Amino acid sequence: MVFNTGAALLDAIVLAVVSKETEGTYGYKITQDVRQVIDLSESTLYPVLRRLQKDDCMEVYDQECGGRNRRYYKITPKGMGQLVMYESEWKKYSEKINGILEGGMRHE
């Protein structure tokens, strides 16, 4: 993708992906789900997850899987509020961009 993905958009995408799983989901699956939308490396994802955890938008817990601990990420109520705000802002933003790109906005 030629467009830059800023921190707020990354946060919004990660929160949206994690919110789909009520019991939470793990880092590798988050990476795979996000990659369906944007190109993202795990080295980019984990700082986003840590920032969202630090901001109380996500909680983290470990669970055994195949004899190893797997770290799970789960959205918090604060994170859901943040996601709702991001969705609202994205809708307004994308409508304006689409209007310009599709020729709907005219300056007089």
Per residue in 1-58, pLDDT (tens digit) is 667 778 899 999 999 999 999 899 999 999 999 999 888 888 889 999 999 999 999 9
Tens digits of residue pLDDT in 63-74? 888 888 999 999
Q: What is the pTM of this model?
A: 0.86
The confidence score (pLDDT) of residue 79 equals 97
Query: Domain ranges in the chain?
Result: 9-101
SS (H, E, C) 25-53: EEHHHHHHHHCCCCCCCHHHHHHHHHHHH
For the domain bounded by 9-101, which CATH number is listed?
1.10.10.10
As to burial, measured by CB atoms within 10 angstroms (0-12 exposed, 13-18 middle, 19+ buried), residue 27 is: middle
